[in-house]
Every structure is written in structure tokens, then in C-alpha cells.
Structure 1
Amino acid sequence: MSASIEGDALLLLQELQKHYEDYMATEKHTEETFRMPESFGVDFFHIIDRVTLSLMEDTDNFYGYFSFQMKKAVRFDIAGPTAVSFKSAAYVMYFNPFLFLPLTAKQMATAIKHDILHIVSLHLIRARDLKDTYSKRVLNIAMDVVVNTYLKNLPPDAITLQWVNMQYGLFLPPFETFEYYAEKIQAAVEIRQRNTPYTGSDHSNSIQLAFDPETTHDVWEESDELDTATLQKFTEKYIDAARKGSLSNYLESMIAELKKEAPGLPWSLYVKKFTGAVAAEKKKTVTRRNRRQPERLDLRGKLTGHTARLLVALDISGSISDGEFKQAMVEVLEIVKNFKHEITLVECDDEIRRSYPIKTLADLQPRLDVRGGTRFSPVFAYANSRRIDVLIYFTDGKGEQKLQVPPKNYKVLWVLTGDALSLKEPHGIIKYLKPDKSDDANLDFDNVEKGGYSMNNQEKILL
């Protein structure tokens, strides 16, 4: 069947290229108005159906049944053979015939598997959480490194771990997380840009004739706006319907972790990112000469290592238990110990009840026995009156719908024990605290298991 698919694909590709050349030779052509005859679409999707059928007949038929549930469409503006989005309560797989038809039948199947693995790994949800931390190109490359590690018969331009290590002079190991690869690749990119600034790709054309890692996952941004939990539920339904037989070990691991873990990245990862960003900032100083031009006494040097000032707010009227909060503080202290930092703890409900500094877990005082209502604004007023860099607010999320005073020049991380935050505009990132089933005050906190998305120890969050 593969030879037949490849032969038909070659004929269809030649037809497509001839039609494109003839169209571009017309006087009033524009790439935005390029269209294919209806007969081309019928023939093209006949090839897609045959590739899907071959996946369904494969021993690992999960991909075939998953693909069978997805809507299909042609788009000439995507920068890869395939791409996905979520529209009208359904996953949609898009195909660029210019990039899909030249592939072998096995490579076509791999291209479909590639995007399904992105969905199952929740990569595109996780990338959304990191879009302000890493460049889009880095996120795309990191995601592709992870899924392509598990695939054979890759298309010729596919991003692989070997390619990344050669391209950026790295020695990254296999089977690490998407977040791990993003952090390492971003650092390598920044080093390279100091010598040769990256100007980006040319995205002016609406018809993509070559693979481009810069934009290969752009279509995901067009997905319907759904909260992470709802989208994960839809994904689980697709997965359940696609399970018709035995699965490979890595698929079993991915699916087991998807169903077990809370969606999205762990809150503790953001504590590390925020604190590290502050600690890495540079400030000018007259006490040190400029490193590049030490003879210029009129130029000030730079010092690194700012002190990251964290304000941790605990809603004592909320549902968070003493054990859960103590465990959370263990994670905070473990993360920030490698940075210069200061931590102030604020206990609050509808007002500030108490504040005190925290250096070690031994400084944590018994919680005040006060149970008022909840208002978030007093904490933000308190934070605005002090010089802080990060506010971490532990609460059940039930309070005002609008802050009386918005935050000023600091990052905000909400860590919720409830289902949702009452604020219509959170002014920060919302994450959820994993419930602690044990509320034993004598719990051993010296060996706390870090939360996070994993793939049965194949993909771990490294903090």
C-alpha cells in the first residue's frame, strides 16, 4: 500500500506545483487568494484516509483511532506537514500539501503521530504557560525534540536531539522534559545572539513551501479559548476512544501521567522562574569598572545578584491545611536557597493579621486562629507599600471580583486550593496546589516529592 500512496502523492504534488506556478504567473495573483480546485481536495483527503487506515491496521493502532476522530483541513500557510488546533469542541489536524505530499508513506504516518503526541503530552498547553519566559522558536524546538525522540521514519527536516546538540553545541541527554530542553536551548540561543543577533524568519508569505521551526505550531494560537482543565477533559475523551488494543510503553506512561496529574505546570516552577529572573538582573555601579572598556572611567560597571524579595500571603480563612502550607513552604525554601532572597510571610483574611520574616522552616509560626472573610486588596496594598519582586498568594480563591489596588512592578502567582479565582482580572498567573491527603503535623518534610508533569520518570520537571 505504501508504494501506491507514494505514487499517487507524487502525481498529486506535480499537479499542485503546476497549478501554483500557473497561478503565480497570472497578473492579478496574490498568495492570499490561492485556491485549489475541489477535485484536488477530494484526491488529497483520499490519501489522508489511506494513511489513517494504515495507522489503524498497525499494531500500535492508537494513532489511527485518535486521528480518525479529528477533523481534517488543508492550509497552505502552516510551516510543517501537519499542525493542530482545537475548534468547536473538536481537535482539527491541518495539512500543508506542499510539505506533506513529498514525504514517504511512513513519513506521512509519522507526521500525523507527531502532532498527536504533542496533544497527548499537553505540550501546547504547557508552552502557553511558558510563552513569556522563552522565545517561540525555542519552545517549538524543545517540544519537537521530546516527541521526535519516540518516533521513527521522521521527515527530513524534523527537529531531533542530535540536531539540537550539533546546532547549539550542547550535550543534552534524551528523555528529559520539554521544559528542561527549553531552558537549556534558550541559554544557548542567547549566547549565540550576543555574537550573531537572530533576526527571525520571514513570515510574509501566506503559502509555506519549506519547514520553519519558528512558526510550525502557530496554528495552536487560533484554538478556541478554553481553560486548561476543560481542554484536558476533551483530550482524555479522545484518548479513551482511541484505545483499541495494547499501547507502547511510552504511550502508556504519557496517558497515565496525563490522567493522574493536575493540568499545566506546577506552581513551584514559577517560583523558580520569577526568583531566578530577579536574581540574575544586573545593575550599574561606580565601584566596578566596565568589563568591556575598563580604561573608560566614565562608564559604570555592572553587578549581578540582586536580592529577590518574596512576599508569601496565606489566606487563613481559606481551605488550605497546615500540612499543605508547610509542605508548600518547604518547596519555596528549597527553590530559593540558591538565590539571594528575602521572604516575608503575611497572614490575612479580610485584612492583614500578621507579617514576619522567614529564613528557615523553623521560623514558621503556628497559624493565627482567626476566621474572617476574604479580601485580596489589603495584601496588594501592603505589597505596593513595600519593595517586593514576587507575591505568592495561597488562597481558596474566594474573594473580591476586582482589586481596589492593582499590583505595582512585581510578579503575582496565585496558588489555589479551590476551583477558581473570584477576580475577573488576576494580574498574574493562576496555579493549583496539589491536595495533601495527610494533614499530620509530625509529617517528615525532609523528603518532599516535588509535584509536576512527568512521563513515568522519562519526562520529569527539574527544579
Structure 2
Amino acid sequence: MKTFDQQVKELYEQANIIIQGFFEAEMDEADVQVHIPENFKKEFFSLVDKVNLSLMEDKDNFYGYFLFQMMKEIRFDMSSPTGVNFKNAKYTIYFNPIIFLTLNIKQMESTIKHEVLHILSRHLIRAKDFKCRYSTIAINTAMDIVVNRYLDYLPPYASTLERVNNHYNLQLQPYEPFEYYVEKLQVAIDLLDENEDSQEDDRDKEEQVEQDFIPEKTHDIWEESQNIDEKTMQEFTENFINNAQKGSNSAYLDSIIATFKNNKGELPWHIYLKRLMGYVESNKKKTITRRNRRQPERLDLRGELRDHKAKIIVGLDISGSISDEEFKQGIREVLTIVKNYKHEITIVECDDEIRRIYPVKSIKDMKDRPNIRGGTKFTPVFEYANNKKANLLIYFTDGKGEERLKVTPKGYKILWVISGNGDGLSVKESYGVVKKLKHVEIKRDSLELKDVIIDGYSMNNQERIR
């Protein structure tokens, strides 16, 4: 019987023969697909089963039982040893044999754990919220830092906090959230020269065979996930988690699972707003007392000072089902969060066009919403924010409106807050983060007939209701 290492060696040799045949065929004919023989698939997945068995025998056997539920496929076009996405109500894990088979069994286990941790951290969904504002390399690296901090026996090229700090000359702190890392990394990446920045765009994303680890492309496969709402994916994932719970877990794993279940894996919108306020770019003014940061040798260029007055625009969709109670609760949260920053808040009421604009300093400044109820367009508010050079736009809406904004947001953070009755955001490219508003009980001003027992009696049991 072959040992595990012998099986790995033979499979690696076969994998190289497969891709060599692909390259030779491609020279003679265009659009040739990689042909994977059935006997290779059978032998490769028998090796994966051995890794899975090893995971099931581990203290954290959760990973093994989670993997047991997943579909498994081979793909030579991935630039990482493993990858995941969500299709047909199942999580599918993919393996690139050329990269995967260079690892020892412990490293193979770690790459599988790596993918499961991405799922538990809801990275497949959260990455979509950031792709419009951050580079792919910043997002991928930040997410990998978060999950790799829990793993041992990582491949030599894995993104760890130490390696990233050394590469970008940073001092990132451990055990921080993904949002912290992606922001810091993007700043560092922006300071690199244009040649390095352009590497991501120059790579051919249509390659059918990848033989090396490429950080910019490690999570490209996530884009192929089935487009379903977060609630449905949450339910499917919880089902996977429950079926994988066959024993006790490490404290860190229990904590991640508890966070996923209890908080539904996402930050409440008001907590997310707190973090956004820390990142909001304030207005700047020129000064002769400070040199230009990017070109300090140019004495003719003035430096910049921040006056720390953030322009915050609060868009209010007055056409939909968002209630006064929900919106007032939201504004209270906004005012509480921003009070420690120098700011100015402007409310913009809009249905199919902007109906009213007014400043707000306290909840007492809130005005009753107009009774006009037109259609729903988000674009007018974004046009206003662009013209006013806003720092942050918070949009309260039931989510139903345009599928595509007619203008591109310019230089400000965006937070969509969907009402408790809303199902999601109709805009396909949000340019920001979409969060759900906590449900608020709506208080009615008067008693309605349906509130009284039909064909019942009055409170005194004396007179029938007619």
C-alpha cells in the first residue's frame, strides 16, 4: 500500500502531465479546455479524504465534519491551493492540485481550515461591500490576516501579520477586525509606485492554469457564488455549523461560531458607523507652515492641515415604508456617534426628486416628513453629495428603487441603512456598505376598528360593537 507521501508524489507528477498536455494542445488549437481524467479525480479525492479523516481525528474535528458536507471539485485555474464559493444551496471547496500537492498534510489541513474560517467570518459577503472602495489586494490580504492568525502550519507564502508588516513597512496590531486592516493596507498600497499598483490589472484573469500563489487572485472564485440574500446564506451556513458540531472545540473556534450565530456575523449599523467616523476624511486647508507630504522637497508646494469638520449627509427615502419611528431612532444614533467629532449634518429628503434639505444639530431640529409620495430614485441625493464634497453619506431607505445609480459617488464613504421592513437594496453596485436597521415598533396615533375584537363587546360588556 502506498504511503501518503508516495500518493502525493505520484499525483503531483500526473498533474504536471495534465497541464503539459493542455499547453501543448493550446499551441495547436485555441480555446482548449483542461481535460482532467476520471482516474486522476478519483485518486486525488481519495487523498483529500485522508486529509479529511485527519481533520476529524483532530481536537477541532469541526473542520473535518464541515468539509464532509461540502462539494469538492478540481480547478487548475485558481492561484491558491484551495478556494470556496456557494452554489446550489451548498458550499463547494475547490483544489488546484499543482499548488495543493506541494504542501505537507498539516499545511493541507490549514488551507482547508483557512477556507472554513472565511465562511464563518462571512467574508464571502463582506468582501462585496468593500470591492468598490478598496483594491483587491488590500481586501484579500486583510481577510487572510484575520483568518490566518488562528492557524499553525501555514504555507510559506501565506499572508500573516508579521509578513505583511515587513512587506509594507507597517505596524498593524493583532486581533483587530477586517475593516481596520483593509483601511491601513490601502493607505500603504496607495503609497507604492505606479508600476507595482498596475500589476493587478496587467494579469490575465482568463488563464486556465495557475501554477503559483497570487494574492490578488486568491479569492476571485468568490465572484462565482450564487447570488442569494444574506438571510438565506446565514440559514444554510448555520445548518452546516450545527451538523459539524460533534465534540468540543478550541476556545477561539467556539468564539467565532458564537459570534456568527449571536450577531448574525455582521456589525450593527451604528457600530459600523462609529468605525466609519474614524476613517472619514476631513476637509483640508492649505498651510505654509507644513511641507507637502508627497513632495517634501518642493518648497513651492503648500502642505495641508485638517480642520476636522466632517460633512455628513443623511439621505431619507420619503417614498417607502420606512417609518418615522425608525428614522428618528436612526438619527438619534447618528447624533450620539458623531458628537465627539467636529461635524455638520444635513438631511436630504427625497422620493423621485429632492423635496427638502435642512441642517440638524439635535433631535429637536427634526421636521415632520412631507406628505408627498412620489416614486423612488437614489441618484438625486448622490448628485447633491457630489456637489457638496461630502465626507459621509448615510442613506435611510426601504431599499426599493433604482437598480443602478446614474452618477458615481466621489470621494466619500457610503452607508446604506435598510428599514426593518425592507428586504434588501435594489441597487446592484452599492459603492458602500449595506446594513439593516433594527426593527422598531410603530406607534399609531389612533385606535383602529381592527384593534377591537370583531363582533365582541365593549370594555364594560354592555353594548355590542356595530
Q: Counterparts of 1:197-276 in structure 2 under 5 Å?
A: 197-200=197-200, 202-203=203-204, 205-268=207-270, 269=272, 273=276, 276=279
Which of 278, 282, 307 does residue 279 from structure 1 map onto?
A: 282
> Which residue type is aligned with residue 14 of structure 1?
E
- Secondary structure in 2 matching 1:365: helix
Task: Give the Cα separation in 1 of the matches to 2:190 and 2:148.
Answer: 24
Q: Give 2:462's aligned residue.
A: none
Which of 323, 330, 346 does residue 325 from structure 1 map onto?
A: 330
1:407/1:427 contact within 8 Å kept:
no
Q: Give 1:162's aligned residue.
A: 162
Q: Counterparts of 1:64-463 in structure 2 under 5 Å?
A: 64-193=64-193, 197-200=197-200, 202-203=203-204, 205-268=207-270, 269=272, 273=276, 276=279, 279=282, 294=298, 303=304, 305=306, 308-313=310-315, 318-319=322-323, 320-321=325-326, 324-325=329-330, 327-334=332-339, 337-338=340-341, 341-345=343-347, 356-359=358-361, 363-365=362-364, 372=371, 375=374, 387-388=387-388, 389=390, 390-396=392-398, 401=401, 413-420=415-422, 424-425=426-427, 428=430, 429=432, 430-435=434-439
Distance 1:348 1:168, change over 3 A: closer
Deviates more, 1:320-329 or 1:377-386: 377-386
Q: Give 1:54's aligned residue.
A: 54
Q: Give 1:8's aligned residue.
A: 7
Task: Give the Cα separation in 1 of the matches to 2:350 and 2:28.
Answer: 67
1:315/1:374 contact within 8 Å kept:
no
> How far 1:51 moved relative to its partner?
1.1
> How far 1:255 moved relative to its partner?
1.1
The CA RMSD over aligned residues, in Å, is 4.1
- Secondary structure in 1 matching 2:155: coil
Task: Give the Cα separation in 2 of the matches to 1:77 and 1:46.
Answer: 21
Distance 1:45 1:385, change over 3 A: closer
Once the two structures are aligned, what percentage of the paired residues are identical? 41
Distance 1:275 1:427, change over 3 A: farther
Task: Give the Cα separation in 2 of the matches to 1:194 and 1:351.
Answer: 41
Task: Give the Cα separation in 2 of the matches to 1:385 and 1:213.
Answer: 38
Distance 1:242 1:355, change over 3 A: same
> Which residue type is aligned with residue 431 of structure 1?
K
- Secondary structure in 1 matching 2:237: helix
1:78/1:216 contact within 8 Å kept:
yes
- Secondary structure in 1 matching 2:364: coil
> Which residue type is aligned with residue 181 of structure 1?
Y
Distance 1:358 1:156, change over 3 A: same
What CA deviation, in whole Å up to 9, does each residue of 1:365-412 have, x standing for no partner?
A: 075566957557599757856843344233455xx7459x96785666
Task: Give the Cα separation in 2 of the matches to 1:124 and 1:318.
Answer: 28
1:98/1:209 contact within 8 Å kept:
yes
Task: Give the Cα separation in 2 of the matches to 1:383 and 1:166.
Answer: 39
Distance 1:215 1:113, change over 3 A: same
Distance 1:349 1:168, change over 3 A: closer
Task: Give the Cα separation in 1 of the matches to 2:290 and 2:173.
Answer: 39
- Secondary structure in 1 matching 2:191: helix
> How far 1:121 moved relative to its partner?
0.9
> How far 1:271 moved relative to its partner?
7.8
- Secondary structure in 1 matching 2:359: strand
> Which residue type is aligned with residue 255 of structure 1?
I
1:123/1:178 contact within 8 Å kept:
no
Task: Give the Cα separation in 1 of the matches to 2:402 and 2:378.
Answer: 13
Task: Give the Cα separation in 2 of the matches to 1:169 and 1:391.
Answer: 32
- Secondary structure in 1 matching 2:199: coil
Listed as ranges, the gaps of 5+ residues in structure 1 are: 440-463
Task: Give the Cα separation in 1 of the matches to 2:366 and 2:351.
Answer: 12
> How far 1:349 moved relative to its partner?
8.9
Distance 1:421 1:406, change over 3 A: farther
1:289/1:301 contact within 8 Å kept:
yes
What CA deviation, in whole Å up to 9, does each residue of 1:89-139 have, x standing for no partner?
A: 111000000011121111111111110111011112111111122210111
> Which residue type is aligned with residue 232 of structure 1?
Q
- Secondary structure in 1 matching 2:193: helix
2:286/2:305 contact within 8 Å kept:
no
1:110/1:152 contact within 8 Å kept:
yes
> Which residue type is aligned with residue 229 of structure 1?
K
Distance 1:318 1:180, change over 3 A: same
2:350/2:381 contact within 8 Å kept:
no
Distance 1:23 1:385, change over 3 A: closer
2:60/2:250 contact within 8 Å kept:
yes
Between Structure 1 and Structure 2, whose CA radius of gyration is higher? 2
> How far 1:354 moved relative to its partner?
7.0
- Secondary structure in 1 matching 2:346: strand
1:352/1:378 contact within 8 Å kept:
no
What CA deviation, in whole Å up to 9, does each residue of 1:36-83 have, x standing for no partner?
A: 322111100111111112212222110111001100000000011100
Task: Give the Cα separation in 1 of the matches to 2:147 and 2:14.
Answer: 32
- Secondary structure in 2 matching 1:245: coil
2:56/2:62 contact within 8 Å kept:
yes
> How far 1:292 moved relative to its partner?
6.2
Task: Give the Cα separation in 1 of the matches to 2:260 and 2:90.
Answer: 19
What CA deviation, in whole Å up to 9, does each residue of 1:147-186 have, x standing for no partner?
A: 1111111122211111111111122222111211111222
Q: Give 2:16's aligned residue.
A: 17
Distance 1:414 1:382, change over 3 A: closer
Distance 1:260 1:25, change over 3 A: same
> How far 1:422 moved relative to its partner?
8.2
Task: Give the Cα separation in 2 of the matches to 1:370 and 1:25.
Answer: 69
